[in-house]
Structure 1
Amino acid sequence: MNGIILTPRGRQQGLSLIELMVTLLLSSFLLLGILQLFINSNTTDRANSALARLQENGRIALDMVKRDFRRTGYQGCASPDMESLERSSRTFPLDAMGDQVEGAGTDNDTLLVRHAAPARIRLVETFPDTTIITGPGVGFTAGERYEFVLTDCEAVAIFTADVSAPSDNADPATEVEFPNKYSISNLKGFNNGPAPDLSTMATTEHTEFLRITEHQYAVRDDPTNNNRPTLYKGDDPMIADVDNFQVLYGIDSNGNEPGGTINWYNGDTLNTEDLRSQVSRLQISLVMSSPDEVADQANTQAFTIANLASNQLNAIADRRLRRAFNTVIDVRNRP
């Protein structure tokens, strides 16, 4: 009987320990290379995503400040260069720009602006009691003191007053459009003195009764967002991750006539009432950063900003991405 005899040489041989170790070593090198490629790709993707978000946030931020600052000095249907009546609590256009704070060196500036806020408010009576009616969503806190603008487009009066608790508007002609009714009292004018004379104003449906709003724009840390630097509008956080906020004030050397040049002032040099009343442009710069540190190394880039003392903001040595966003805004409601 013939059979197959297996010899040691004909048997299947396994890997030796050395061969196995070499194979594992080569496989580890290959896996490390793939892992490094993945890490680099992920880091690049995070940086690109953060940069895209930063660019979009900057665009939105500029749109927001443009919308707000263009309202500066708005006083209803009255011409922007129409001065308020005698004894008014404020005189526009002068007081549309409040006292500004210029940051030392390249520190953050502070901007204060005022304007009348468009709202569905109608004046229905000035004597013996001053009475207003308001549309849905327009309300006042009883006992609080507010500042108002009254204009018939031919004259403007600005004054402060106390506002009563609301009652229902029972006038069938207006109750649907203006359901709330308020009485305002204790009218005061400049330096809390007598109010301007409102009897000279026509009280028709075209007469505008508006509330003055005042907003200060400043950068401070937001405790609700890990103390990140944030541009505040009054007490409300407006734009997060703003590392630097700068403002310059532009005055046309030729007034409203063509052919003039724009002279720029900062908060320190805009130091007279005459200058403040002539501001027609604002130059704004925002240096914004990504919320997280996504760069490979610390920043070394300086940024160009709207600052007369030094137009370069030194690099901030962390690994956040940063961009400077600059714009010039025409203040529409200025003479």
Structure 2
Amino acid sequence: MRIAIDAMGGDNAPSALVAGALKAAQDWTDTHIVLVGDTAVIEPLLAGGKPANLEIRHAAEKIEADEEPVKAIRRKKDSSMVVAGRLVREGEADGMISAGNTGALMTAGLLVVGRIEGIERPALAPMMPTRDDLGVLALDLGANMDAKPEHLLQYALMGSIYREKVHGMKNPRVGLLNVGTEARKGNELTKAAFDLIEQSSLNFVGNVEARDVLDRNCDILICDGFVGNILLKTMEGTAGFLMKTLKEEFSRSLLTKIAAAIMMPGLKGLRRKMDYKEHGAAPLLGVNGLIMKCHGSSDAMAVRNAVRQARIALQGNLIPSITSEISGK
């Protein structure tokens, strides 16, 4: 399989992207990595040697984090993100990974790679941590700020296929994020979406509240991108606050430092559970090719784990499965 990596996108580009690509190429020699970006910038970062299963595809431009997505994709035809998208569209790569501008990546998915026929809006679907380590797949968490009930139904269908094909989960439970668990709770969007999902063949468990998600009261959490992105950022902020507070408290005295030393294995496990780097990347579901979105501040390990996620999705025939289910063919 061939996986393209947008080497110029993200806060730590290109160094972290190149280092992560090198690690992935070494770990999975059956996977061909294509680093897309400015050759003159990337090559010095490969001074230690370039594996046989890694190549550079030159792209003279890059899309900045603050650029307007549609204008950036249309004007910068030779940007690393657009070139990587073209590789997927033209079959030169089986999937792509980017830590760049989320809006631009969404636009590239639509304008460069294209939507799966029958899908109206793609959705960003990251994993959220849970106490039992199985996680909850949540979508949409930021690809589309507005949604219709029909979009939420499609999110539920794509999320179910992802959990089955990538995570091997049989008959995963679908929950609709809401302000209460009663069937008629919420706004007009959630009420209408509730009825649509309930009438489908999916394993729908009804409305779920945000406070229960980390206990995995569902396997797939459905919401519109505006609400979902707020949920995601709130959880990231809470995780950061918790870890900083614990560090401060355990540093107050000799006694607390001793306690911290005793609890260190458990604390490290907690940190790993809440660390986005462990998951690597979130798929953009609904586009006609595998696109994985890394966190903007991803380091080399996060990029390496993104390649791992992409490999699993490709081995599970994720995109063909979604296409077949939606088209009915």
TM-score for both structures, normalised by structure 1: 0.21
Which one has more relative contact order, counting CA pairs under 8 Å at least 6 apart? Answer: 2
Greater Rg by CA = 1
- Higher strand proportion, which one? 1
TM-score for both structures, normalised by structure 2: 0.21
